[in-house]
Amino acid sequence: MGDFKGRLIALYHYRGFVLSMVAREFRSRYMGSLLGSIWSILNPLTMIFIYTVIFSRVMRAKLPGIDDSMGYGLFVCAGLLPWLFFVELLNRFPNIFIEQAALLKKVSFPRITLPVIALCSATINFLIIFTLFLAFLLLTGRFPGWVVLGYVPLLIMQQMFVVGLGVMLGSMNVFFRDIGQFVNVIIQFWFWFTPIVYTLTMVPEKAQGLLSFNPMTSFLQAYQKIILHGIWPDYMNFKWHFLGALIALVGGFFVFHRLADEMVDEL
């Protein structure tokens, strides 16, 4: 417990380093491009346009019980944006210590700052994209109202889970390099086993039972109900998700704590 508290104190003392690294990541993502950081707006706007206009209007894709020409596009975006937030970290965390091997060897700083930097960077990207999505909903008269705040507790639980899982995988991947490749394969299957581009009712009943074991299914369904129906999530249905996220978070940082001192030698 003392070591964990010490890491938190060290993280606080290095908050300037964290903020500067987050800013550096954001700048480097668009450095050298003519439009610079404007791409951080154009890219998500393009994605939102494709799903809400191309998929919904050109393909005439509709949802059962939703009499809205943009219904399918809103359905996809409502779940896809949090999913991309989730996957950005899950993709990045397995290699987060390996990619910063040179920095870890040359500079003395708390290793815990690296996952925090990744989380902050991913959160900024998500907030930009999600804000544009909300602006689109306002402009098209489809904004669900204050119920959109229902996203917040769900996103916190979701990201607690992925941070814990990611830190565990990132710590282990330093010693077992196949883990990172394995995660890439799993993510591809995980996407199609999550009701993002289809509703749960579109799959056979037996498959519905199988998909219900996917922890992301409940999150995605709640996000979609917020946007399409303006329904607040029933957070009591997420008590086991919260417990699982907490276990993943504690477990991830326990593994990190046990392996952190040996990482530099292995790198």
Spell out, as residue ranges, where the chain has pLDDT lower than 70: 1-8, 29-45, 47-49, 51-69, 107, 264-267
pLDDT score for 62: 65
What pTM does this model have?
0.85
**Residue 163: predicted pLDDT:** 93
Give pLDDT, residue 117.
87
**Which tens digits make up the pLDDT trace of 199-227?**
888 788 777 778 888 889 999 999 999 99
pLDDT at 158: 94
Residue 157 pLDDT: 95
pLDDT at site 226: 94
Phi/psi for 110 (5° steps) reads -65, 125
- The whole-number pLDDT of residue 201 equals 80
pLDDT tens digits, residue range 85-104?
Answer: 999 889 888 888 888 777 77
16-23 long-range contacts (CB < 8 A, ≥24 apart) are 17/109, 17/113, 18/113, 18/116, 18/117, 18/120, 19/120, 21/113, 21/117, 22/117, 22/120, 22/121, 22/124
Angle of helix 151-173 versus helix 239-266 axis, rounded to 10: 30
Residue recorded with tokens 């809400």: 52
